[in-house]
Chain A
Amino acid sequence: MDYDLSATESELVEKIKMLVADKNLPEPETLEKAGPGQIAPVLRAWLARLGDAGYLAEQAGPGRLAAQTELARRSSWIALAADIGARLLCDLISRHGSPEQKMFIDPILQGKSIAAVAASEPLSGSVPKTLETQARKDGPGFLLSGSKSTVSLAPMADVIGVLGRIGERTALFLIDGTQAGVEFGERLDTLGYKELCTCPLELRDVRLEPERVVGPFDPSEVDLLQELRASWDRALTGVACGTMRLCLDQARASADVKRTHAKPPAGYQSVRFALAEMLTLSQTAELLALRAAWAAATGDRGAASLALCAKVFATENAGKLADKALQIMAAAGYSQPNPVERAFRNAHLGTIMGNTSQVARMDIADDVLQKVGEA
């Protein structure tokens, strides 16, 4: 047993701390109203530095999670964008791709390539057999057609992993955003994470060489959608931990300096207690998330359920902390731009993406019921 980060794990965390403090990197937090053309260079600069630091290639585990927390504390959308490529897409390719297909991974992990993943469809969420995006054979390759409803980073992506079907089997299709037949819909006006430029994606007979198709798989043996949700869960858990730290930082700073009725808010017990509750939830969430990351990395038998517990706890409490921070900051918290107002909006993605809080709770309970049944 060891509750400390190892030397290697701490080293990565320190690298990220130094990186986020680097004034030479472009400011990532004023881009909500910018277009993909302005956002992409900022993201590329950050991804390149994260690649150089070894962050993108780092295996999942407590060290990676602790580093992600520090990154998200500075910028949650950069942390999420980094994971969409390095974790969501690369994990699928590395698990199921051929050795040749793994060439798609290197540029992403080196921070040289922006990646997106397209899964959700207008009429399909989480069940593979309902995916309507289909590829049909055409000579040596395939023609891919379908609609995806919400694809984050799509207009900026160099490579987009599209989940679809070949007949009854599921596959991951690696497309180039500039290919003929690829059309991006109008950018969605999302509540938060506007920097991710989420938009619909239309695919009309997009031609794919065989090496750009990972799979196909029998969905009863390989559930790509479930794997993707689990990756989202891990990404969102770490981001939520960073969001909590950010909210606590901001609330504390505000409580110490602002003056209300001749004393700062921190002079009032109710404000101090609110801060204490925020710290308690933040520390508890981080510890649970670290344990879940460790369990997943070591193949612990309770890892899947623990990951869901960590995801629900961290993402829901990130929203609560943002709410408390905003309350402490009062009008300043309610005004734009400020990081807490942004965190308040962004945090809601955490309980929606991957396994929603509701789905996660059902899975957690099913796991408990199964264990009782086995006992």
Chain B
Amino acid sequence: MDFAFSDEQLAFKEQVIKFAAREIVPRCAEHDLKSEFDRQAFRRLGEFGILGLHFPEELGGSGADVVTTVLAGEALGEAGVDGGLMLSYGAHTFLCADTIFAHGNDEQRRRYIPKLASGTLIGCMGLTEPGAGSDVAAMRTRAVLKGDRYVLNGSKIFITNGPVADVAVVYATVDPEAKHAGISAFIVERGTAGFSAGAPLHKMGVRSSQTSELFFDDCEIPQENLLGAEGGGFPMAMQTVEWDRSALMAPFVGGMSYALMKCARYAQERRQFGRPIAEFQAIKEKLAAMKIFLEAARGLVYRIAWCKDQGRPLNHLEAAVAKLFIGDWSLEPANAAMSLMGGYGYCHEYEMERMFRDGRLAPIGGGTSEIQKMIISKLM
């Protein structure tokens, strides 16, 4: 076994941390408080190469491996980038762009990937519906082929980047009776007649990411916007799980690292009863709880990334374990961090309050902890 990152990977991580701390992080608090998507920051992520890191150079990417891509996500979290922007980045790059890259034809790749990689276009994915979340087979959004065009009808909910996206990868069924085998994936562009996004939902956390419903009302799209084959959508959606459990989880891990350092600095500076609170054992226990969680979580994320780099099919059991652990077991150290910072932790003006709210998404988004337990108990 060898758990070492290469020198190049570590150097790149440092570059990302410095870049984000300089250009992204100073903008995060304001956008979180206003619940505004930060287009400028998103564009800077694209210019720096983060949005298209793992795509080939000829498509505007950097050809990075999965571990390096995940490392960049951890680095953004470690720099202190807010969960909202990280979520927007994840939905854009891994749920939308990567699905087009992995399953699209050459024309679709050439048309969308370079612009998604640069941040010129913003992407989203439409899968969840009011009556179909993890139960994908219950999907009701229909796609009917009429001549050379598909007509989409239905709605999606909880779609990250919904209100700001230029391109959506949308899942709809061409045959409800066929259940999973009827689900197909389509590329839908902003401005297409019959396609609209709802108003941004007011969320507890990850506020700088915009989340909304998507509506399809006799929305006609060209037949060539079908991704892959008809009925091939379910495996595509499942393949995003690999990214979801590694690249989308990495910022949570990086965020915990940032919170730990922030709490440690605070504990050294804050004085009570004539000495820094870092000297109290109760405070040290909270720092230790965060550190232990951090180290335990880190390995799970990179195991999935490394396996993907080896070209192995996703181990769904290991993926669910990673999601469940990072989601559920992050709550206690997050709570410890809040308590450690006392009143300062509870105020909007200090980042811990935001991180606490953002982190609460971990056991919910991308399949709740309960769904992970169902998967694990079925596969074990």
- Minimum CB–CB distance from A67 to chain B (whole Å) comes to 13
User: Which listed residue, B6, B261, B376, touches A276 by the CB 8 Å rule?
Assistant: B376
**A-chain residues with CB within 8 Å of residue B265 when the two chains form the complex:** 372
Q: Which of A279-315 contact B (CB under 8 A)?
A: 279-281, 283-285, 287-288, 290-291, 294-295, 298, 300, 305-306, 309-310, 312-313
Q: Name B278's closest neighbour in chain A (CB-CB).
A: A369
Q: Which of B268-306 contact A (CB under 8 A)?
A: 268, 278, 281, 283-285, 287-289, 291-292, 295-297, 299-300, 302-303, 306
Q: Are B284 and A291 in contact (CB under 8 A)?
A: no
Q: Are A3 and B307 in contact (CB under 8 A)?
A: yes
Query: A34 interface residue, CB < 8 Å from B?
Result: no
Q: Are A284 and B321 in contact (CB under 8 A)?
A: yes
Interface of A (DSSP majority class): helix
**A-chain residues with CB within 8 Å of residue B380 when the two chains form the complex:** 252, 275-276, 279
Known: A279-B321, A364-B292. A287 touches B2 (CB 8 A): no
**A-chain residues with CB within 8 Å of residue B317 when the two chains form the complex:** 279
- Minimum CB–CB distance from B127 to chain A (whole Å) comes to 23
Q: Are B291 and A364 in contact (CB under 8 A)?
A: yes
Known: A4-B1, A279-B376, A284-B321. A368 touches B306 (CB 8 A): no
Q: Are A298 and B372 in contact (CB under 8 A)?
A: no
Query: B72 interface residue, CB < 8 Å from A?
Result: no
Count: A-B pairs, CB below 8 Å: 136
- Minimum CB–CB distance from A272 to chain B (whole Å) comes to 4
**B-chain residues with CB within 8 Å of residue A220 when the two chains form the complex:** none
Q: Are A276 and B324 in contact (CB under 8 A)?
A: yes
Query: A127 interface residue, CB < 8 Å from B?
Result: no
Q: Are A280 and B1 in contact (CB under 8 A)?
A: no
**CB 8 Å contact bits of B1-38 with A (1 = contact, 0 = none):** 11111100000000000000000000000000000000
Q: Which of A327-371 contact B (CB under 8 A)?
A: 358, 360-362, 364-369, 371
**B-chain residues with CB within 8 Å of residue A103 when the two chains form the complex:** none
**CB 8 Å contact bits of A62-97 with B (1 = contact, 0 = none):** 110000000000000000000000000000000000
Q: Are A368 and B295 in contact (CB under 8 A)?
A: no
Q: Name B377's closest neighbour in chain A (CB-CB).
A: A272
Complex: A6 Cα to B300 Cα, angstroms? 19
Query: B325 interface residue, CB < 8 Å from A?
Result: yes
Q: How many B residues touch A, CB cutoff 8 Å?
A: 44
Q: Which of B300-339 contact A (CB under 8 A)?
A: 300, 302-303, 306-307, 317-318, 321, 324-325
Query: B373 interface residue, CB < 8 Å from A?
Result: yes
Known: A280-B376, A366-B284, A368-B260. A305 touches B1 (CB 8 A): no
Q: Are B1 and A3 in contact (CB under 8 A)?
A: yes
**B-chain residues with CB within 8 Å of residue A360 when the two chains form the complex:** 288
Q: Which of A109-141 contact B (CB under 8 A)?
A: none
- Minimum CB–CB distance from A326 to chain B (whole Å) comes to 19
Known: A276-B373, A369-B287, A372-B264. A3 touches B295 (CB 8 A): no
Query: B256 interface residue, CB < 8 Å from A?
Result: no
**B-chain residues with CB within 8 Å of residue A290 when the two chains form the complex:** 1, 3, 299
User: Which listed residue, B1, B284, B324, touches A6 by the CB 8 Å rule?
Assistant: B1
Query: A373 interface residue, CB < 8 Å from B?
Result: yes
Complex: A281 Cα to B324 Cα, angstroms? 10
Q: Could you write out 26 A-B pairs with CB less than 8 Å apart?
A: A1-B3, A1-B6, A3-B3, A6-B1, A272-B373, A272-B377, A273-B374, A276-B372, A276-B374, A276-B377, A279-B317, A280-B324, A283-B318, A294-B2, A358-B281, A360-B288, A361-B289, A362-B284, A365-B287, A365-B291, A366-B284, A367-B291, A368-B291, A369-B278, A372-B264, A372-B265
Known contacts A9-B1, A298-B4, A368-B288, then 12 further A-B pairs from the complex at CB < 8 Å, ordered by chain A residue: A3-B1, A63-B1, A279-B317, A279-B376, A280-B376, A288-B296, A294-B1, A294-B3, A300-B4, A309-B295, A371-B264, A373-B268
Give the interface of B toward A (CB within 8 A).
Answer: 1-6, 67, 260-261, 264-265, 267-268, 278, 281, 283-285, 287-289, 291-292, 295-297, 299-300, 302-303, 306-307, 317-318, 321, 324-325, 370, 372-374, 376-377, 380
Ranked nearest first, the 6 interchain pairs of A and B with the lowest CB-CB distance are: A365-B284, A272-B377, A276-B376, A361-B288, A276-B373, A62-B1
